[in-house]
Amino acid sequence: MLSVLSYGRLVARAVIGGLSQTDGRDYSLVTASCGFGKDFRKGILKKGMCYGDDACFIARHRTADVLDGVGGWRDYGVDPSQFSGTLMKTCERLVKEGRFVPSNPVGVLTSSYYELLQNKVPLLGSSTACIVILDRQSHRLHTANLGDSGFLLVRGGEVVHRSDEQQHYFNTPFQLSIAPPGAEGAVLSDSPDAADSSSFDVQLGDIILTATDGLFDNMPDYMILQELKKLKNTNYESIQQTARSIAEQAHVLAYDPNYMSPFAQFACDNGLNVRGGKPDDITVLLSIVAEYTD
């Protein structure tokens, strides 16, 4: 997820509660996460649930479960955790405070980003973003994706919905940015409103995989689906094991110089002679739609 001068990502999911009007049951997500940093600290979390420069959190609220994952910059010597981590924490706080509308995930992203812009001390960096909200009352999923993180919705062993990757040009995703002084014109910065939005119904047993580009650049859909076949039930241990299996395979492929990865194929399609995986931080959040229980 490299741009001309910046690098970052944000993945978030909010799950909103209510009483189902269709079958009388609440839906919720049973979720586990796993990831790997480029520095080979396999599956080990730093402070704040970080995988390399990626990070994620899983938060509980009376009406919401929230998952969030982010990354940051290196190019200007900026601590990559500052911008993306603060954006992540701001999204988390807004959801916990109930300051969002389930059908408007872009609103969560917009409010968080503009809080960062209003900081007295500029907070430099950038992030892409993918926010997914499950409305328990209507059983509908509302999504917003900015950049090249994203999600897959899998039902019956097939991908039935997925986010659309947004790129300005090869290897330059849409992103939210705050540029260093004097570099404003050289750093891409998109509006939260540029995020691609969609809404659709979900069913019990649906699988939702949300991840940073470190996964999607190294594993095509068919490989991900093969791993998801190992998911036998909705208990946390099974989901965690499958999330780890997916992240581990992507991590191994990222360092295979002979593997024709999705990233390498995309590079070839853009006239570049590239082969191999793409070493990167990897964050995987794996969820199953289940009946809500206290």
Q: Between β-strands 196-201 and 140-146, what pairing exists: parallel, antiparallel or unpaired?
A: antiparallel
Q: Which two tokens stand for residue 245?
A: 């299996």
Is the full-model pTM beyond 0.75?
A: yes
Tens-level pLDDT at each residue, the chain (294 residues):
322 332 345 554 444 443 334 467 888 888 898 888 776 544 444 545 566 666 566 555 555 455 555 555 455 666 666 787 788 888 888 888 888 888 898 999 999 999 999 987 778 888 888 888 888 878 999 888 999 999 999 999 999 999 999 999 999 999 999 887 777 777 888 999 999 999 999 999 999 999 989 999 999 999 999 999 989 888 999 999 999 999 999 999 999 999 999 999 999 999 999 999 999 888 899 999 998 887
What is the total residue count of the chain?
294
User: To which residue do tokens 């090869």 refer?
Assistant: 170
Domains of the chain: 25-212+230-244+285-291 (3.60.40.10)
201 Cβ partners below 8 Å, 6+ apart? 139, 140, 141
Q: How many helices (H) and strands (E) does the chain have?
A: 6, 16
Helix (H) or strand (E) holding 265: helix 262-269
With the CA atoms of 62, 141, 218 and 262 taken in that order, what torsion angle do they form, in degrees rounded to the nearest 10? -160
